[in-house]
Structure 1
Amino acid sequence: MPSAVSSALSRSSADPVDDALTAALAAVRAHIVAVGAANPVVALDGRSGAGKSSLARRLVAAWPGRGRVQLVALDDVYPGWDGLAAGVEYARQRILSPHARGLVGVWERWDWETGSRAEAYAVDPSLPLVVEGAGLLTPEVARLADVSVWVDAPLPSRKARALGRDGDTYRPHWARWAAQEDRHLAAHDPAGLADLVLSIP
């Protein structure tokens, strides 16, 4: 049964989103400490604009341990606007599975302008790994993660954040991407797979 962190207590704050992310970070850090591994894997899932990327960056900056932490954003992995499921499977095969087996993983960034794979990156299995992206928490990925997180947020907030961030580039594709997220939720119930369910306003 996943534990949940609510932003309810921060609604009177001048910045409730920041307060909620601060609470979310504390909860994720506590789970990482409880795992007690030198190289834990944290998987962050949530719909577009929920706050995954912000939480992932804060987590890497405030990691509860020493040394370097690797961060992979699935926005650099998805093979285009119809590639949610394919990107997650690519990440599972090229990043998460090798890490779990103690092998170096190698993945290639997706160049959205050329529509092809670009430069390659290595993932060190001896180091902690944070992977964040919509569609990430499938049963297969959840088994490879030491801490799995579902980040939830209301549709109006998510859409405002996502379009505010990516603007006209994303606007024509919002519904197309949301439909893929809908299919992921129906097929995999990521909130049910998560160790933590976090709510961001």
Structure 2
Amino acid sequence: MHDLAARVRRLGPSCGPVRLVAVDGHAGSGKSTFAGRLAQELDDAPVLRLDDIASHEELFDWTGRLLRQVIEPFGRGRTARYAPYDWRTRRFGPPRPLPPAPVVVVEGVGAGRRALRPHLALLLWMDLPREESWARGRARDGAEQRDFWDGWVRAERAHFADDPSRPFADLLVRQRPGGYEVLPGPSGTGVATTLLTHGDEPSSLW
């Protein structure tokens, strides 16, 4: 993780003064855990979770809200303010400040969508097949979330069919026993060597 963090620090700003680093992948692929550990290595960089931007009614139709609340303020060097969504009460909460730090990690399904890519310094894709990812997510959330997952899978299939992220990823992240393997991505802009970050246990969080 140290080597990857060093690479991120060498990148130029991509959104105003901010280096936006996106962690995308299928639901259940381990994005949240990986993003958190990368952010910790980056001197506790802020993590924006797209679960806070999406909602039941807009599983993927949240681009305009993210651009208005986060991307546009960052582009002007200002503190962003976004209203996190509460998935239990089904309503958005009070605005939360997000200062324009040197690095901000954005994690969630769709973090590498076409509308966001021009603002990204780096796009990482958690490289776990979708069926395996979804099985992990379903097992984590249990039977009470079965109906939600059925709807989610349909929505995710439709999203990536129209707006895929993996072909544009700079780096692919694969979980291995005891760590993560980081490989050059399909975009052809990734590092030329394999990095293995040690000391990270696999996780099913997303």
**TM-score normalised by length of structure 1:** 0.75
Matched, 1:128 2:103: yes
- Cα displacement (A) at 1:55: 0.5
Is this contact kept in 2: 1:39–1:126, CA < 8 A? Answer: yes
**Aligned-pair Cα RMSD in Å:** 2.3
Matched, 1:144 2:123: no
Q: Which residue of 1 aligns with 2:22?
A: 43
SS at match of 1:153: coil
Structure 1: unaligned runs, 5 residues or longer: 1-24
Q: Which residue of 2 aligns with 1:74?
A: 50
Aligned pair in 2 of structure 1 residues 146, 169: CA closer, same or farther (>3 Å)?
A: farther
Is this contact kept in 1: 2:26–2:134, CA < 8 A? Answer: no
Is this contact kept in 2: 1:42–1:146, CA < 8 A? Answer: yes
Is this contact kept in 1: 2:54–2:61, CA < 8 A? Answer: yes
Would you tell me which structure has more helix in proportion to its own residues?
A: 1
- Cα displacement (A) at 1:27: 6.4
Report the Cα distance in structure 1 between the residues aligned to 2:8 and 2:112, rounded to whole angstroms. Answer: 17
Aligned length: 173
**Any idea what the Cα deviations from partners look like across 1:99-152, whole Å, max 9, x if unmatched?**
133122110111222221112211111442111011221122011111111212
Report the Cα distance in structure 2 between the residues aligned to 1:85 and 1:105, rounded to whole angstroms. Answer: 20
Amino acid aligned to 1:56:
A
Amino acid aligned to 2:58:
G
Aligned pair in 2 of structure 1 residues 148, 74: CA closer, same or farther (>3 Å)?
A: same
Match of 2:58 among 54, 75, 83: 83
Report the Cα distance in structure 2 between the residues aligned to 1:77 and 1:137, rounded to whole angstroms. Answer: 14
- Cα displacement (A) at 1:34: 3.1
Matched, 1:31 2:12: no
- Cα displacement (A) at 1:30: 4.5
Is this contact kept in 1: 2:2–2:41, CA < 8 A? Answer: no
Aligned pair in 2 of structure 1 residues 94, 187: CA closer, same or farther (>3 Å)?
A: same
Is this contact kept in 2: 1:99–1:105, CA < 8 A? Answer: yes
Report the Cα distance in structure 2 between the residues aligned to 1:169 and 1:120, rounded to whole angstroms. Answer: 30
Q: Which residue of 2 aligns with 1:20?
A: none
- Cα displacement (A) at 1:36: 5.0
Q: Which residue of 1 aligns with 2:140?
A: 165
Is this contact kept in 1: 2:63–2:115, CA < 8 A? Answer: no
**Any idea what the Cα deviations from partners look like across 1:4-43, whole Å, max 9, x if unmatched?**
xxxxxxxxxxxxxxxxxxxxx4564253033155742111
User: After the TM superposition, which parts of structure 1 deviate over 6 Å for at least 4 consecutive aligned residues?
Assistant: none
Is this contact kept in 2: 1:74–1:87, CA < 8 A? Answer: no
Q: Which residue of 1 aligns with 2:184?
A: none
Report the Cα distance in structure 1 between the residues aligned to 2:25 and 2:2, rounded to whole angstroms. Answer: 18
Report the Cα distance in structure 2 between the residues aligned to 1:47 and 1:27, rounded to whole angstroms. Answer: 25
SS at match of 2:24: strand
Aligned pair in 2 of structure 1 residues 178, 27: CA closer, same or farther (>3 Å)?
A: farther
Aligned pair in 2 of structure 1 residues 123, 134: CA closer, same or farther (>3 Å)?
A: same
**TM-score normalised by length of structure 2:** 0.73
- Cα displacement (A) at 1:70: 1.0
